[in-house]
Structure 1
Amino acid sequence: MQSKIGGGGLPPAFSLFPSLNKTFTFHQILVLIITFLAYASFHASRKPPSIVKSVLGHSVNEQSNSPIDNRWAPFKGTEGMQRLGELDLAFLSSYALSMYFAGHLGDMIDLRLFLVFGMMGSGILTVVFGLGYWMNVHLLGFYMTVHIVCGLFQSIGWPCVVSVVANWCGKEKRGLIMGVWNSHTYVGKIVGSIVASSVLDSRWGWSFALPGGLVIVSGLVVRIISDLNLATSI
């Protein structure tokens, strides 16, 4: 069984290992590694909002049982948790609705480029959310808009990686392959939680900037090292 390399051209890293015997099995393993890295980074960039809620939202004085107004507007005060919930709702709604269109677009264009586009957009929007700290932004509309657009870019990831894995991995041992490969969800969440929480005590903006930068770097790695035209099928 041979893979078809389409007319999309080969990425730069293809010429780095000219002597490597690129068998079909090699391509399959590389696809699994690349897509694992890609979607793990997507999940890592989704963790900051849940980690930073403890800093953004209102806190309670344990002695008087009254809210302490020392958090980040517009999320401080008694309505702070409600507004954080609205952010989650905005992101999930954007993500769910955009998934339909992302799947259709993925069928029409180069999946490799589309995946990298989604990773770059997700990373940049995550960093922009964190910039709200250094820019001293206290507008709910700013954070809501960033979260909605980020959900749009995040929706690109899943249709791309699933389509790629389905194209390159046949029915044989599909259950085993998908079981191991799908652990990217938890690996990404663990990495995102560790990275975001490690800098939470200093400035909460870093809790978004670092995971966002991780997605951007992962996107560059995916673009550089992949030596397959992922838009083609077996």
Structure 2
Amino acid sequence: MSSEINTGPVIGQRHLQTFLLFMAIVVNYMAKFNAGVAIVAMTNAESSNPNFPEYDWNEMERSYILSSFFWGYICTQFLGGWLNRRLGARITMFISTLGSSLLALLPPWCVSWGGWQAYCGIRVAMGLFQGLLFPCIHAHLANWCPVNERNRLGALANSGIDCGTLVAMFVSGLIASSSIGWPGIFYVSSGMGICWCIFWMLLGADTPRQSKLIGEAELNYIETSINSSRKENAEKLKATGRIPVPWKAIWTSIPFWALIFTRCCQTWGYSTLQTELPAYMNGVLQMDMKKNALFSALPYFASWIMAFVYLFFADILLTRGVMTITAIRKSINSLAFFVPAVALIGVSFLDSDQKTLSVVLMCTNVGINAGSTIGSTINTIDLSPNHAGIIMGIVNTAANTMPILTPLLVGVIVKDVSDRLQWQIVFIISAVVFVVGNIVYLVFGQMVNQPWDAPDFLTKQQDSHLQEEGYSKALEANQFLEDEKRKESEATNENTNL
């Protein structure tokens, strides 16, 4: 009879750390995506609070502002992982969030004299700081999550992505229409980030053993679970030494390239809505800022809820053996790509007389697309658990080039934000990208460990090469001996004839 495992309190320090990670994502995403709402208020004062300055920025200049965050964001993904290894997640995430939060204070002061260029510069710097965040979040989860709670706690922490976008859209719109106007968007966002930093430094800890608040039972439970799961990998590392990265094999892997392409396509469609939804609602659907804030936020509320629905059903299908992991990933990813593609095309044909249907379709689009996390985002672990961090860094860097390009494309196509036909082109392009991305994933994507994941892959490859080289030299030696024997035989025959 097995004894019951003492996991510590029902709500322990591992849950507190997960909540802190959740809030870290929320405050950073609010600073990241409040620009979509802020720009509408800053360029159309009548839609929010007319008592604050209004700027005459054209659509191309707006697009530069929305895109600029990602110019910096893609540059520091690998730096975040490096700093995490050197300084730990606690210090690196503090630096990341504090830097972004302090920069969020600057637009109301700098835009008046520096224009849209100053706003772009601030967002580039914010992107540089926030690029450090996600490598630390995944490392922190690995240190704190027992194996059997990893999916649950990981999903709870990452649900901050949808919640942060939801808060950015909804709260920012309400603030812009309030007495503090659009500058209040930046002040509130900055204040939330700074408050998080204070709580993080007081309550955060890189590992359970470094926490001063954790109980002995919970500490033993977490460490025993994590150490047992790492035992096999530790034995492999001991036998082979540090696992070298098989760069050539990774870069020539078709499933790896299929994953990159699919994630880029997903980010293209999703970022189009994230950055352009407030402008579309204000220009085409002619919603005022308060209604705009509510209806801009609804799709991300749907996404937040659907993330848990997908997780629930995926766990049931997998644990009961109804579907394989390959079938689950490809089925959910197809649902998450094909349905939003149809919804996007539907949205593009609606106008201000069909506001309700437009909102329903956009909620369907973003909500159903939440399945892409299970469908393809975590495919990195399927391909190579040993090199998942490296693959995640590459894929995330590639995918985050898309939010740079999509606002710029909108700036080229949409010259009049109230012109539905121009927005039609934008949404149809995104729909086509969704469809093509999933087709590539269905044909070339794989959900099994690749040969190059093996710790001794390069060693075996080198041994195989040496064997082939030795075999080639042996053949050459045998050929040489045969030639010599033939020459001797020919010389003997000639002497006999004489």
Question: TM-score under structure 1 normalisation?
Answer: 0.74
Partner residue, 2:29:
43
Contact 2:28 2:100 in 1 (8 A): yes
User: Equivalents in 1 of 2:160, 2:151: separation in Å?
Assistant: 15
Partner residue, 1:205:
183
Aligned with residue 125 of structure 2, among 145, 149, 156: 149
Structure-2 change in CA distance of 1:52 and 1:182 (3 Å): same
**Structure number having the greater helix percentage:** 2
Instruction: Determine if the alignment matches structure 1 residue 222 to structure 2 residue 222.
Output: no
Largest Rg, 1 or 2: 2
Instruction: Determine if the alignment matches structure 1 residue 90 to structure 2 residue 68.
Output: yes
User: Equivalents in 1 of 2:121, 2:207: separation in Å?
Assistant: 31
User: Equivalents in 1 of 2:64, 2:207: separation in Å?
Assistant: 36
The residue type equivalent to 1:148 in the other structure is V
User: Equivalents in 1 of 2:106, 2:89: separation in Å?
Assistant: 25
Contact 2:14 2:145 in 1 (8 A): yes
Structure-2 change in CA distance of 1:184 and 1:37 (3 Å): same
The residue type equivalent to 2:59 in the other structure is M
Aligned with residue 99 of structure 1, among 77, 81, 90: 77
Partner residue, 2:466:
none
- Structure 1 spans left out of the alignment, 5+ residues: 1-21, 60-69
Question: How far apart are residue 137 of structure 1 and its match?
Answer: 2.6
Contact 2:14 2:144 in 1 (8 A): yes
Aligned with residue 155 of structure 2, among 160, 176, 179: 179
The Cα offsets for residues 75-103 of structure 1, whole Å up to 9 and x where unpaired, read as: x25xx221111122221121012112222
Structural RMSD (CA): 2.9
Question: How far apart are residue 229 of structure 1 and its match?
Answer: 3.3
Contact 1:126 1:212 in 2 (8 A): yes
Give the 5 Å matches for 1:49-128. 49-57=35-43, 72-73=54-55, 76-77=56-57, 80-128=58-106
Aligned with residue 18 of structure 2, among 23, 27, 32: 32
Question: TM-score under structure 2 normalisation?
Answer: 0.36
Greater displacement, 144-153 / 195-204: 195-204
Q: Which secondary structure does the structure 2 equivalent of 1:107 belong to?
A: helix
Q: How many residues align?
A: 198
Select the structure with the greater relative contact order (CA < 8 A; seq sep ≥ 6). Answer: 1
User: Equivalents in 2 of 1:140, 1:44: separation in Å?
Assistant: 20
The Cα offsets for residues 144-184 of structure 1, whole Å up to 9 and x where unpaired, read as: 21111010111122111111001211432422332233211
The residue type equivalent to 2:148 in the other structure is E
Question: How far apart are residue 111 of structure 1 and its match?
Answer: 1.5
Contact 1:40 1:184 in 2 (8 A): yes
Question: How far apart are residue 120 of structure 1 and its match?
Answer: 0.7
The Cα offsets for residues 107-164 of structure 1, whole Å up to 9 and x where unpaired, read as: 111220111111111111111123336xx33433321211110101111221111110
Q: Which secondary structure does the structure 2 equivalent of 1:229 belong to?
A: coil
User: Equivalents in 2 of 1:167, 1:214: separation in Å?
Assistant: 26
Q: Which secondary structure does the structure 2 equivalent of 1:97 belong to?
A: coil
Question: How far apart are residue 71 of structure 1 and its match?
Answer: 7.2
User: Equivalents in 2 of 1:178, 1:229: separation in Å?
Assistant: 16
- Runs of 4+ aligned residues of structure 1 deviating over 6 Å after TM superposition are none
Q: Which secondary structure does the structure 2 equivalent of 1:46 belong to?
A: helix
Partner residue, 2:389:
none
Among all aligned residue pairs of Structure 1 and Structure 2, give the percentage whose two residues are the same amino acid.
17
User: Equivalents in 2 of 1:155, 1:192: separation in Å?
Assistant: 18
- Structure 2 spans left out of the alignment, 5+ residues: 1-7, 46-51, 211-222, 227-498
Structure-2 change in CA distance of 1:225 and 1:176 (3 Å): closer
